[in-house]
Every structure is written in C-alpha cells, then in structure tokens.
C-alpha cells in the first residue's frame, strides 16, 4: 500500500528506491520513539499539483526538532523544494507526504547528535475516515504537557494515539476522543475536534493538544464566512448531543462525527455551519483561495 519496487524516497541527501532504503538498528528513534515528523498533503489544483500549507508544516517540523533537541538545519524552502521533486519523481498529484527526522546511532538518554531526513510519499485520494464517525470518550488521556513537549509532533507521542485508537476500535467505535489531565476534551488520536451549538463552533483551547494546521485553517474559514468560533476548555458532557461536530486534520480533512458515546449529534449535517466549513475547506485545498 505505501510503496512499490519503483517508489522513490528521499533519505539523508539522496533520492533512492524505497526498497533500498534501510534504517540503522542502533538509534534512539527506533528504541525510544525519539523522532519528529509531519503529515502533509498535496492536491491537484487549478494551479497544478500543490502542497497544502507546506510552509506551516515545515515550520512545525523544524520547531518540533528544536523542542526535542534534535539538530536539524534544512530550511523551509529547501524542504518544500525537495518535496516537490519527490512528487515529480514519483508522478504523484494527490498524495500524503511523510517527512521524518530520525537520529544517528546512540543508545544513551541524551540529546540527538546528528539527524537524518527521510521524505516519503504515497498516493492518497480519500480522507482516512470517510463516513460519519462514531466516537467514544477514551480512558486514555492525552500525554500530560508537563511530561512531554505536547506541541511537538514527536514519534513517541503516537504510542498514546495507537493505544487509544485501537481500544476504541476494539469496542466497536471508529475513533477515540481523548481528554486532557483535567478531564477536558483534548483531541482524537490524530486530529483536532470542534462541536457546534446554535451556529457557534467550539474547540479546545491550546495547551494540551497539537496546534493543528487544519484547526488554524478552520479559524480562517470561519472568519471569512462570519461563523463565530470559541477556543475554550469543556467536558465531554457539553459536547455530547450538540448540534454537530467534526474532526479536522491534514489526513482527516473535515470529517463529520455521527455520535459521541452513542449519543448522536442532533442536526442533520446538511445546512450546519460545520458543513459550510467542510465545503470551504475542500474548495480551499483544490483552488487555494476562498
């Protein structure tokens, strides 16, 4: 699914076949989850193949590396340029792009000495959750910001995401909604969350969540469409049974939620402010202006 014998990747200064790329077994990234990464999408647009918000993603990648004390000196423009080359070499238009920074061999619990950049991409036309999503409040909390650099997109944080998401699936749901250490709604295993009540959108304030680039795009769309949006802390009880709700993220895009803990969202999706945001997002990624 992710690569064939022909797929090209970028690894540590060179373009090479994915099947020929190898990873050192003695690194902190493999053993301790000490890596940072991004999830980016490219779309066929009216201006040809375009990477959506490449600059924001690569700024976050660099910031994630800095927060994790991983040395990394590629510029945003170099990273963007390499990514377009990667898409071209593979002949991809609609693709998911996964930049990953790993560290050189070192088994100690000290900061990374040298880093390697990998750029991987695979064709992707659909969001990962296409139908209305049944969500459960997870018993797994998001990592405590006093224990992790929660605003970094670091490999190790996703062990928490795997545990929560798999637990939800084992219980018959599509996705997990994780709370923060205070019992407030935080985010899903891999997306931010909004709910809608009486035409107003509510989303968790920053502090315990990944500051999503799609979340920020939703704010921009809401300001353009005059949809009021509030960043606030709230409990799952306030969200359960609301008019509508959605997850948002680069991979998820804007995906409608069906229910939270088996309590359905009450309005039909069509005609909600959330649906307007979804439509505007789809237009934005393909046309690149509102």
Q: Which residues bind ligand PMP (CB under 6 A)?
A: 39, 187, 190-192, 210, 212-215, 249-250
Structure tokens at 102: 């790993």
Q: Which is nearer to ligand PMP, 103 or 254 (CB)?
A: 254
- Contact call for residues 164 and 194 (beta carbons, < 8 A): no
Nearest CB to ligand PMP, comparing residues 29 and 142: 142
Q: Which two tokens stand for residue 34?
A: 């000490």
Q: Give me 180's structure tokens.
A: 């923060």
Whichever of 187 and 275 has its CB closer to ligand PMP, that residue is: 187
Pick between residue 8 and residue 251 the one whose CB is nearest to ligand PMP: 251
Residue pair 47/168 in contact (Cβ under 8 Å)? The answer is no
| Closer Cβ to ligand PMP, 27 or 249, answer by number | 249
Tokens of 235: 């409990």
In whole angstroms, the minimum distance from the beta carbon of 81 to ligand PMP comes to 21
Question: CB within 8 A of 125, min separation 6: which ones?
Answer: 94
Beta carbon of residue 77, minimum distance to ligand PMP (angstroms, whole number) = 20
Nearest approach, Cβ of residue 50 and ligand PMP (Å): 16
Least distance between ligand PMP and beta carbon 214 (Å) = 3
Tokens of 262: 């088996």
CB 273 within 8 A of CB 242: no
Min dist CB 15 to ligand PMP, Å, is 25
**Minimal distance in Å, beta carbon 186 to ligand PMP?**
9
Task: Tokens 């960043």: give the residue.
Answer: 231
Choose between 24 and 144: whose C-beta lies nearer to ligand PMP. Answer: 144
DSSP 262: T
CA distance 158 to 86: 26
20 contact partners, CB below 8 Å, separation of at least 6: none
């Amino acid at each position: 699914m992710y690569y064939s014998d022909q797929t090209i990747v970028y690894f540590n200064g060179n373009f090479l076949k994915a099947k020929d790329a190898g990873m050192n077994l003695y690194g902190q990234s493999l053993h301790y989850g000490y890596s940072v990464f991004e999830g980016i999408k490219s779309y066929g647009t009216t201006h040809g193949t375009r990477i959506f918000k490449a600059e924001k993603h690569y700024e976050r990648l660099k910031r994630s590396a800095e927060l994790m004390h991983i040395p990394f000196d590629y510029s945003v423009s170099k990273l963007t340029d390499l990514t377009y080359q990667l898409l071209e070499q593979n002949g991809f238009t609609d693709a998911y792009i996964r930049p990953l920074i790993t560290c050189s061999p070192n088994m100690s619990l000290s900061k990374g000495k040298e880093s390697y950049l990998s750029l991987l991409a695979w064709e992707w036309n659909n969001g990962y959750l296409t139908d209305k999503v049944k969500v459960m409040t997870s018993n797994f909390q998001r990592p405590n910001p006093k224990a992790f650099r929660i605003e970094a997109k670091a490999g190790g944080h996703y062990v928490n995401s795997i545990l929560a998401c798999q637990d939800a699936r084992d219980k018959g749901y599509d996705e997990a909604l994780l709370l923060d250490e205070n019992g407030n709604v935080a985010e899903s295993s891999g997306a931010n969350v909004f709910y809608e009540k009486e035409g107003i959108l509510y989303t968790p304030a920053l502090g315990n969540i990944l500051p999503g680039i799609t979340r920020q795009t939703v704010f921009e769309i809401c300001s353009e469409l005059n949809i009021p949006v509030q960043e606030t802390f709230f409990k799952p009880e306030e969200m359960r049974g609301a008019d509508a709700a959605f997850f948002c993220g680069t991979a998820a895009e804007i995906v409608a939620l069906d229910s939270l803990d088996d309590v359905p969202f009450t309005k039909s999706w069509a005609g909600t402010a959330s649906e307007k945001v979804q439509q505007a997002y789809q237009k934005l990624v393909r046309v690149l202006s509102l």
